[in-house]
Amino acid sequence: MASAAQAVEVPRPRAEFFNSTSKRTAVLSLLLVMITLVAYNPVVHNDFVNFDDPAYIRANTVIRSGLNWSTIEWAFRSTEQGNWHPITWMSHALDYQLFHANPIGHHYMGVLLHAIAAVLLFLFVQAATGFAWRSMIVAALFTIHPLNVESVAWASERKSVLCMLFFVLALMAYRRYAQHPDWKRYSLVVFLFAVGLMSKPMVVTLPFVLLLIDYWPLERTKAVGLKRLLLEKLPLGFMSVASSIITVIAQRAEGAIHTSDFTLSNRLRNAVFSYACYLGKALWPSNLASFYPHPAHIAVGKVALATVIVGVITFAALRYREQKYLTVGWLWFLGMMVPVIGIVQAGEQGMADRYAYMPFIGLFIAAVWGSAELARKLRIPMTYLGATMGIVIVAFATVTHGQIGYWKNTKTLWTHTLTITQHNYVAEASLGAELISEGNIEEAAKHLRAGMAINPRDPFSHLDLGVCEKRMGHLDEAIQQYQEALGLTTGTMLRSAAYGNLGSSYAAKGNYPLAIQNYKLALQARPDDFASLIGLGVISQKTGKAAAAVEYFSHAAKVQPSDVSVLLVSQALARVGRQQEAQAEFAQAQRMSHDWAGTMAAVGRLLQK
């Protein structure tokens, strides 16, 4: 029979295991990764969509060349898509080098980065507060909240995930600096902030968030003093201002700034209303859309109710400052939303799920800490609270799992968006563009005209309706639509496409001088426009300017190497008597082709236009 002393010494591995901080942290981190991978597993069935994916990945010739010095140089110079985000461009280039055009790899890389960001968030909050399980729940809510599906399952939105990753790394570096301030540790914060800004400029609010965590949980406000804390953030503030200026310049160049399209009063009403809508979707994430149209009018009652909701919560957060987590969490949400709340209107959306990716962390912190403290005061067992949080997490994960399915392909994405939104000209135009790619021209034209009825000033609708008209043989109507599109945009890519399509239409009418003029205007806007280079090459070959044809086709083949473009180079070289080079290009075209008869037929169709 064992003695009492011996009974006390019986090992209890489970308790000892979770009493070990490092082991508990490792297990919870692995659990976060597992939750993320399970919730986001449906992305392996998803394709790319026509919502920015062509410009960012599929049709971007620089990205398709993979990660190399030329790509890196271009990434730091480029402001395509209205942003200066070289880290994002390099990430896409690396993905293309690894996975080529297979969407599974691109999507799963985004999921892995999201999982890493969730783990880092857990590690930061735990290190800063000392609470493991609360920090775990905050990170779990972040990783599985349905509004974050857009940032993760949409390949082009890689910038949000990268930005979040470097944002949390900067928070971790700042906590380390706050423990023992020195210039080396501060330099690491600056570096990570800079990389975050080069991923997506939304992280400009980092200096504000650092001031918040100085207040809680780092408790530096009284110990260091507000004046010194503000001086600490000054270099970071200058970086935020510089990034904001670069972003505005880049977005103006692409025609993405739409502030003048909406009155200040309308933008302010929408900002307040959007704050309330984000809160609603944080609690009840339903009817999530890829594009929410900017409302032309919001009822006074809705604005008043939104103002009361936001005002009351703000008053409570500031009034009960002893609950510092409430103040910090709420101001984190309010402050991080400022760059994208629409006071300066970039894009034509009223709000967007992706904008909540980092701001919602503040709400999660306030909700988790508030629930835990309330349960403690009411003496509710923590197991009950944990079970409740578990139910919430499972419910969110279930909705997330379903939401990912709407991003399966372009058609499911925009059909769903049209089902749950009203007056959505972007969804109509985007679905129309997809139907064009499927060859369903008449149905595409119906959606494009529906979009134009909602917003007659949408250049994309006019551009794609022009494509429909051309496909139906209505060249004059197509030309009219392309000219309408040109009058409605200052964006270089859109203008290049419109000029290129005008060149193609005039070429089909046999008006080569106007075709050449428009093709060259397209190249002025975008020097590597593949279709315009091919068009000029075809006209040059038809009009007996074989040397010019060689030049245009060679440029096109360099921009977008393919069996068709290389065979065009071969035929043009043969016409100028450069037979040896022509034979080499011919052999290269054969090696690249998987269907030689189809390649020959495609070249024949181009030269007969």
Of 57, 165, 159, 166, which Cα lies nearest the Cα of 114? 165
Lowest mean pLDDT of 7-16, 49-58, 250-259, 412-421, name the range: 7-16
pLDDT band at 598 (very low <50, low <70, confident <90, very high): confident
- At 3 the pLDDT is 39
User: Residues 535, 500: contact at Cβ < 8 Å?
Assistant: yes
pLDDT at 16 over 70: no
- At 17 the pLDDT is 55
Tens digits of residue pLDDT in 546-560: 999 999 999 999 888
pLDDT at 10 over 50: no
- How high does pLDDT run on average in the chain? 93
How many other CB atoms are there within 10 angstroms of residue 318's CB atom?
Answer: 12
Tens digits of residue pLDDT in 347-389: 889 999 999 999 999 999 999 999 999 999 999 998 898 999 9
- At 9 the pLDDT is 43
pLDDT at 6 over 90: no
- What's 45's DSSP letter? G
Share of the chain above pLDDT 90, in %: 84
- At 8 the pLDDT is 41
- At 40 the pLDDT is 97
Of 31, 37, 17, 39, which Cα lies nearest the Cα of 136? 31
Lowest mean pLDDT of 115-129, 236-250, 254-268, 445-459, name the range: 254-268
pLDDT band at 59 (very low <50, low <70, confident <90, very high): confident
pLDDT at 2 over 80: no
Q: No. of H helices and E strands in the chain?
A: 32, 2
Each domain of the chain, given as residue ranges in start order, spans 17-410, 528-609
Q: Which CA distances in Å does 38 have to 161, 517, 575?
A: 18, 54, 59
- At 11 the pLDDT is 46
Alpha-carbon torsion, ordered 264, 268, 270, 276, to 10 deg: 180
Contacts (Cβ under 8 Å, ≥6 apart) of 195: 87, 166
- At 437 the pLDDT is 94
For Cα atoms 237, 240, 246, give the angle at the middle one, nearest 5 degrees. Answer: 145
- Which residues make beta-bridge pairs with 293? 349
The per-residue b/e assignment along 3-25, b for 16 or more CB within 10 angstroms, e otherwise, is: eeeeeeeeeeeeeeeeeeeeebb
pLDDT at 274 over 70: yes
pLDDT at 338 over 80: yes
pLDDT at 329 over 60: yes
Contacts (Cβ under 8 Å, ≥6 apart) of 596: 590
User: Residues 562, 592: contact at Cβ < 8 Å?
Assistant: yes
- What's 297's DSSP letter? -
Between CA 113 and CA 105 the distance in angstroms is 12
- What's 529's DSSP letter? -
Tens digits of residue pLDDT in 184-206: 999 999 999 999 999 999 999 99
Between CA 249 and CA 270 the distance in angstroms is 24
Tens digits of residue pLDDT in 466-496: 999 999 999 999 999 999 999 998 888 899 9
pLDDT at 182 over 90: yes
- At 554 the pLDDT is 95
Of 272, 265, 245, which Cα lies nearest the Cα of 257? 245
Contacts (Cβ under 8 Å, ≥6 apart) of 34: none
Q: Which CATH number fits domain 528-609: 1.10.490.10, 1.25.40.10, 2.60.40.740, 2.20.28.270?
A: 1.25.40.10
